[in-house]
Structure 1
Amino acid sequence: MVLTTDVPTREQLVRRASELVPVLRKNGAWAEENRRIHEESIEALADAGVFKLRVPVRYGGYEADTRTLVDVASELGRADGSTSWVASVYWIPTWMTCLFPDQVQDEVFATPDVRICGTLSPTAMAAPVDGGIVVNGKWSFISGALHSHWQVVVAVLVGGGGEPAPIMAVVPITDLQIADDWYTAGLKGTGSVSTIAQDVFIPSERVLHLGAVLQGQYSSVANAASPIYRAPLLPVASASSVGTVVGLARAAKETFLERLPERKISYTAYTSQAEAPLTHLQVADGAMKIDEAEFHAHRLSSLVDSKGVDGSPWTLEERARARADMGAVCRLAKEAVDIFATASGGSSIYSNVPIQRISRDVQAANLHALMHPDTNAELYGRVLCGLEPNTLYI
């Protein structure tokens, strides 16, 4: 299947995302209450081409670079953290699918606006059988699974005469069971339920060895020359994730400034919070932290995109810095949100005030195993000190 499409510019895609803010913001409270993205929001994202950003042009996609992902997700995150998170998560397994043999891509991308969820956690077991593997196990934190067509799964392959090794595979979501277990404090609307495989057969063409993928050994012929698809997985995943967090910080600033003109500081002589020097310091500090978060997000995406274009090999330090930049975005964005939340006063604890949802969402993002600021900073410092990384996820 080969399609032709007019590929929008980055500016056009960001503008489309900005135009979605009202509808996504309107549905944010519903998504949180119902623990899934509203169908209207899914349709709006599809109409804007958000699900096509990492799809190859030959299937009607946009093959957008990671700078575009950062800027689009930042706009979506201004509207609703959960919706932006799901869109960002879809971009990563969609990109991962582009590493598989081309006939596999033909099958997956035959669905218009296909949505692919996934994970990098090898929490299932696989056994070799004639023509493929059989998988059993459970994967948690599968954001967007409730709206997905396919899932990229990771499992440990045991048997066949070799050492146990992690594999990555693409599975129709209808082959899996859904465990409705997403009851959380933050990012409630993402619908990040668990999925379960019970004796699921996966043909061998839809299976890759994760170790080879992490080392940049991909199976697609058609995508081999594209700068978008020849970067390492972890830097790509890192750059795909950070825009949502930047958007949450921007949303915190916006919602604070929207409420500011009507607020006073209770039990003080300030009849206008906007006149208090403390407020000036808080707003300036929060705004500067957002600027710093944007710097790290854009430095990360620029590194991924520029190395994809020139084809130069990645150094260990660059890989570690990519994760460090992601962690810095999370830390700085959370610090900015905390400043605006603290300055919002007691009335902000009501559930109809957006800052409380923003605070819980940015906290949840900071707790993600691959995004945790402390974990990523330690990894970067370890490499800078001349030690080998203590993880395959780099």
Structure 2
Amino acid sequence: MENSTGAGILTGGAAGIPVPGDEELVARAAALREHLWADAAESDRSRRLTDATVEKITRAGLTRLMTPARFGGHESGMRTLLGVTSELGRGCCSASWVTGLFNAGNFVVSLFPERTQDEVFGTNPDARTALVLGLPSRSVEDAGDGVVVSGRWAYASGSLHADWIGVLVALPTEAGRPSVHIALLRRDEVEVEDTWFFVGMRGTGSNTVAADRVTVPRHRLLPYAPVLNGETDGLVDEGHLYRNSLTAVFSLSVIGSLVGGAEAAFDFVRERAHDRPAAGSTYARQAESPTLQLDLSTAAMKIDTARLHARRVADTIDEFARAKVNADLETRARVRMEATHVAQQCREAVDVLVTAYGTSAFDESSPLQRIWRDVNVGGRHAGFGMGIPQQVHGRALVGRDPREISFLV
């Protein structure tokens, strides 16, 4: 069922279990903000989310947004995913980032055969799936009813708290050209190497997943190209809610973290402007300074711009999903560019805010410096960076195939 506009509690879940409406799910995320804010510093120090944070997010049903309804999932629209991750991001950017990606991972599981879905969600509707879209493993051996996989995949956000991990593998073919598939691995089948030593988004625990001769049955292998391109007609039934490129869903799953972080930074600076002196001036309070007022206005407009573009990304994905058609390449290129623009606006807004606040923003005890680090690292994810989204969008605008530049469209 599609649950894209309702408030409160809806019916229609597995075995008649009530399904929370979109407003209810976003409200649950907002209710966790205070806890996440209090736990964020510890997650940053330990380079992993606290178990309490993951438990609260899971118990609130916020990892079930993309889980099929027949298993007790919510099958929420993208607006709901954006609303949930934005609210979580106001408490902790890392917690929001991981929650978004768990839902993107569960979206991918929903495209696997029913046998696989039963294996993942049948006894655990709260199952969490991490997803790594890095280069495919080069060590794959045919095992008759499956394959034997060895390899290492970096930047596996959420791997420390995942139940399943999806990685890319290159399967040999008779034609000699490898066929890239998503291989779904149980968390207990792999090792997680402690490699995530980054200055921001530290709580995501985006470590390296290592597999040593893990046997993956055929039903846990899914062709990557149809998922990436949103060409899922051969994979899912007619009533399946999600029909869009994985790139769009993946991008939407993380930009809420950046928007929420920027909003939290804005609230922090504005609230304290009435109590903090404007150092080196005759203004008794920062709020009296026209420069601070102008900075707040600039940051507010950048955050509003980010929020509006993020909502258009969500609405575009939902629109095509409801119509059960795949978006054209120009639209897909625009969506990637819009997500990139969201990241850029959030980075710029936070930069303005920490400068306006002053040097004490970078005191290690200040949440502003953590938000600044998180937004600057998250906003430079490969999906947003190095000028590639601009090239992809520009090429589509002149009628060329953007996939000539990047497969992430």
Could you state the TM-score of these two structures normalised by the residue count of structure 2?
A: 0.92
Tell me which moved more, 176-185 or 254-263: 254-263
- Describe the shift of the 1:151–1:89 C-alpha distance in structure 2 as closer, same or farther (beyond 3 A): same
1:4–1:57 CA contact under 8 A, matched in 2: no
**Given the alignment, which residue of 32, 35, 41 partners 2:53?**
41
Aligned residues: 393
- Describe the shift of the 1:26–1:220 C-alpha distance in structure 2 as closer, same or farther (beyond 3 A): farther
The corresponding residue for 2:151 is 137
The corresponding residue for 2:333 is 320
The corresponding residue for 2:384 is 371
Tell me which moved more, 153-162 or 213-222: 213-222
- Describe the shift of the 1:391–1:166 C-alpha distance in structure 2 as closer, same or farther (beyond 3 A): same
**TM-superposition CA deviations, 1:204-229 (whole Å, max 9, x none):** 111112123223344887654122x2
The corresponding residue for 1:173 is 187
C-alpha displacement of 1:288 = 0.6
C-alpha displacement of 1:127 = 2.7
1:152 alignment partner AA: G
1:175 alignment partner AA: E
Counterpart check, 1:23 vs 2:35? yes
CA distance in 1, matches of 2:143, 2:174: 9
1:353 alignment partner AA: S
1:137 alignment partner AA: G
CA distance in 1, matches of 2:369, 2:67: 35
**Given the alignment, which residue of 76, 88, 96 partners 2:88?**
76
1:327 alignment partner AA: T
1:152–1:171 CA contact under 8 A, matched in 2: yes
Q: CA RMSD in A?
A: 1.7
Q: Gapped runs of 5+ residues in structure 1?
A: none
**TM-superposition CA deviations, 1:254-285 (whole Å, max 9, x none):** 11123212211211222211001101110000
C-alpha displacement of 1:298 = 0.5
- Describe the shift of the 1:3–1:232 C-alpha distance in structure 2 as closer, same or farther (beyond 3 A): farther
**TM-superposition CA deviations, 1:38-70 (whole Å, max 9, x none):** 111111101211011110110001001100011
The corresponding residue for 1:382 is 395
**Given the alignment, which residue of 139, 155, 158 partners 2:169?**
155
C-alpha displacement of 1:160 = 4.7
2:407 alignment partner AA: L
1:100–1:218 CA contact under 8 A, matched in 2: no
**Given the alignment, which residue of 91, 110, 115 partners 1:103?**
115
CA distance in 2, matches of 1:43, 1:215: 33
1:244 alignment partner AA: S
3-state secondary structure, aligned to 2:278 = coil
The corresponding residue for 1:275 is 288
2:171 alignment partner AA: L
CA distance in 2, matches of 1:25, 1:312: 40
1:101–1:219 CA contact under 8 A, matched in 2: no
**TM-superposition CA deviations, 1:68-89 (whole Å, max 9, x none):** 0111111000001111111011
**TM-superposition CA deviations, 1:161-208 (whole Å, max 9, x none):** 541121111110111111011111000111111110111110111111
**TM-superposition CA deviations, 1:81-134 (whole Å, max 9, x none):** 111111011111110011100110000012231111011112412232211111
- Describe the shift of the 1:2–1:10 C-alpha distance in structure 2 as closer, same or farther (beyond 3 A): closer
2:43–2:49 CA contact under 8 A, matched in 1: yes
1:277-316 to 2 correspondence within 5 Å?
277-316=290-329
**TM-superposition CA deviations, 1:123-159 (whole Å, max 9, x none):** 4122322111111110111111111110011122235
